[in-house]
Amino acid sequence: MLDTLDASRWDEVAKFRELVVALAAIDWSLCDGNSGSLESDGDQKLTCNVRSDSDGRGQHGRHAAPPLDGARGKTRSMYHVFRRRATCDHAFVDVALTAADERSMSEALIQQLSRNDEGSLVLPTLRYTRPARPRRASVVVKPLSSDQLYQNALFLRQCRATWREAQREVRIRLGHILSRAVDADKDRKISAAAGLRALGARQLAIWAEADAEAMRQAAKDRERAREDRARLTHAGFIKRQYRCPLT
């Protein structure tokens, strides 16, 4: 489904954040088939996995939140998928640099940057730079500069921060879903699994369909515009023909 999404899902900041939240929700749903306790970084703990014992009493099992680079056995972590696509399709904007970042960059690059109200240097655009591929084995390509290498490391750091923020957002949204499930006296484990599907795979499917429809509509609009131009061109040709005297 990621391949069917419009490029704006990776370009626009708001759409990008929502996309990462959906991927984080999918990542959580892949965690051994259960939803875990949705806890990370020492934040509030939310128990989502509920098992009923033989007496009918609920037993709450706590599980750690999916790790950042979480192993899924044979299943690849969605963080790796997100990071790979982001290095190709996304650019972070207005990235504030720390003093350590500033010391690690060349003076030539620093001279090109401006500072924000807090006095921190700001990178207006941060993209991941891949080394050039030689066309022939005998051709030596120019290696990445120290600034490019550092900006690549900074880009991956931004990816990690974005993913952790998305994990926290999933926890918050799933918490709201489970609160409504408790009010409706529904099974929390089933509600958690359904909630993760709604936040993740189902949301991706909705976006994919919406983007496909937008592409179809754009194609129709282009075809209609082409036909309108053709009609105008033909009408102009006929008008010129009538104006020309017969010879």
Which residue, among 57, 54, 82, 56, has the nearest Cα to 68 in the 3D structure?
82
Highest-pLDDT range among 51-55, 91-95, 236-240: 91-95
pLDDT band at 74 (very low <50, low <70, confident <90, very high): low
Which residue, among 2, 8, 37, has the nearest Cα to 23 in the 3D structure?
2
In the chain, where are the structural domains located? 2-91+127-212
- How many other CB atoms are found less than 10 A from the CB of residue 6? 17
Is the CB of residue 79 less than 8 Å from the CB of residue 115? Answer: no
Instruction: Give the phi and the psi of residue 103 in degrees, each rounded to 5.
Output: -70, -25
Task: List the single range of 43-52, 115-124, 147-156, 189-198 with lowest mean pLDDT.
Answer: 43-52
Q: Which residues pair with 61 in a beta bridge?
A: 49
CA distances from 228 to 123, 180, 215, 217, 232 (A): 45, 53, 20, 16, 6
Q: What pLDDT is attached to residue 239? A: 72
pTM metric for this prediction: 0.73
Residue 52 has pLDDT above 50, yes or no: no
Share of the chain above pLDDT 70, in %: 78
HSE of 62 in the Cβ direction (CA atoms, 13 Å)? 6
Q: Which residues of 157-177 are buried (b: 16+ CB within 10 A; e: fewer)?
A: ebbeebbbebbbbbbebbeeb
Q: What pLDDT is attached to residue 221? A: 80
